Structure 1
């Protein structure tokens, strides 16, 4: 294909390639762009014809980028950002465009959602997309511009900045805590069975193997809401438990060790004013409220 004659690029083809590269499947890209599978496949083929290179390969786990595709994605996302900026008007270096942030559901709902919108209000040309997800995302596939994660990447062209160490405790209503402190058997609110591999879920299984888990929810913010009912104690981060006036800390002895949180971004994005500004502001948010985490 590399020897074929190149033709002019079609921006719609580039948009579809970016969506497929990020999401890894025709169906996900089609849902994102509100088109059908055939359109995705046809426009991808047209872009490959224009560039003279194979950009993706289909594998059992989905579509993966070829080396040429990985290189093309860098330029394609620059085009996407430029198009977004142009649609909002020229900015003369002012932070602008869309910055996509991926974080865990707990951090998203329990901390970031009440703080990040203020940042968007301070920069009228800057848009922020906050996406909660338990799974690790790929910065190299441009699934996000910034990731806030409990795991530090071991490879890739990624900068990892330590943010905070998150401490945990058992939280419940006053009545639920008093019952346990008086000698009653603890009842818990935990993770769904599909998420039993998570460290907090494993801690409960190890230290309270016979205890009843009366209610299960997918993330720790939802667990904190469930704990308000008095149905049980939730093992949740302090930043969530302390922020809820209907819950208090209950001492059951051992608790999980604190977990470090990192801000991750691509090295090349240090040159992006918008991504750099958002990253610095997120770092400040955690620094200013360090006491609620420990």
Structure 2
């Protein structure tokens, strides 16, 4: 059984929660395919895909399993610096991420701001924020259990993204695919709050100095 998704969702959300699935379905073996490109379901490169964005023009069968919202996060050590309140140092995406909506939004919203670190990996961006490089825009689920990061307020946020679970049209007729898809959807339903804005208020209000 091959499931394709992004590395953050695979490593930080799915893998830590799959033990009950294996206990309930020991006959099913899972392969998680984590690639920057969209692995093709039509060419049977994967059986299930978890992708951001509403596949309006797709022939695939799909259901929305989560809404991802975002926040700005930084390490306490960074926030203690006096200059952090005046000219925020940003962490963003590199030039290979031009198709990522959040990359475009960051560059447009913080045009003129200093980006001290860029990467096409949100995991690397999270690590950079944790190390005190600056401020990273992250999906809330990536920082939900990270005590080394603080949610902060820059006065603006990008739109939410929808996460969809996709199958080939004949996929729901295959018992192991149907069972796996239902189990994955249940995981997102159970932990839906991880993907929304935390109940705690941002610790700091920083000024967006980009104008």
For the aligned pair, the TM-score class normalised by the smaller chain equals 0.7 to 0.9
1:150 paired residue number: 52
Q: Which runs of 5+ in 2 are unaligned?
A: 197-211
Q: Does residue 1:127 correspond to 2:29, yes or no?
A: yes
Q: Which runs of 5+ in 1 are unaligned?
A: 1-98
1:222 paired residue number: 124
- TM-score scaled by structure 2? 0.86
- Runs of 4+ with >6 A deviation: none
* Distance of 1:273 and 1:100 partners within structure 2: 14
SS in 1 for 2:147: coil
2:141 paired residue number: 239
* Distance of 1:122 and 1:218 partners within structure 2: 36
Determine which of 245, 255, 259 is the counterpart of 2:161: 259
1:161 paired residue number: 63
Q: CA deviation at 1:109?
A: 2.1
Q: 1:103 and 1:233, CA in 2 relative to 1: closer, same or farther beyond 3 A?
A: same
Q: CA deviation at 1:234?
A: 0.9
Q: CA deviation at 1:178?
A: 4.3
CA RMSD across the alignment: 1.8
Higher relative contact order (CA 8 A, sep 6+): 2
* Distance of 2:25 and 2:70 partners within structure 1: 34
* Distance of 1:275 and 1:219 partners within structure 2: 29
SS in 2 for 1:267: coil
1:184 paired residue number: 86
Q: CA deviation at 1:267?
A: 2.0
- TM-score scaled by structure 1? 0.63
**Count of residues in Structure 1 that have an aligned counterpart in Structure 2:** 196
C-alpha contact (below 8 Å) 2:78/2:84 kept by paired residues: no
